Amino acid sequence: MKGACENGLFELADSEAYKSRFEPFALRLGKVQPGGQSVGNMLQQAVSSSVSVERVARCCLRLVLDGWPEERGKRVLENAEVLGEDWAEINVVS
């Protein structure tokens, strides 16, 4: 059901009637960890397919405000893209 909905939205966005009106994205996440960027969550993110709820929120806001860079050409984002390149920076540990 989820895949059919994603594909339907992608097809609609590509159709002539809706071209450039909206840009759908799908997030394929593993386990979503509550509690922000704690040390425990960072360890979980390093060894399993999990992502903190804070990282999911940041990614969604970035998509809404800036979209996804066209050179990457992706509509389906996996854990690695949601985590971002800076996920393990020590200064974000709270």
Q: pLDDT by residue (tens digit) across 14-70?
A: 898 888 788 888 988 888 888 766 777 777 777 777 888 888 888 899 888 888 776
Q: Do the bridges between strand 76-77 and strand 26-27 make them parallel or antiparallel, or are there none, so unpaired?
A: parallel
What's the CA gap between 4 and 48, in Å, rounded? 27
In a domain, 1, yes or no: no
In a domain, 3, yes or no: no
In a domain, 81, yes or no: yes
Domain count, the chain: 1
What are the tokens at 40?
Answer: 């425990």
Query: How many CB atoms lie under 10 A from the CB of residue 87?
Result: 19
The pTM of this model reads: 0.70
Contacts of 47 (CB under 8 A, 6+ apart): none
> Looking at residue 83, what is its pLDDT?
79
> Looking at residue 87, what is its pLDDT?
62
In this prediction, residues 81-92 reach a mean pLDDT of: 64
Contacts of 55 (CB under 8 A, 6+ apart): 37, 45, 82, 83, 84, 87
In a domain, 2, yes or no: no
pLDDT band at 8 (very low <50, low <70, confident <90, very high): very high
In a domain, 4, yes or no: no
> Looking at residue 90, what is its pLDDT?
46
| Residue-number span of the structural domain to which 88 is assigned | 24-92
Torsion, Cα 55 83 46 93, to 10 degrees, reads -40
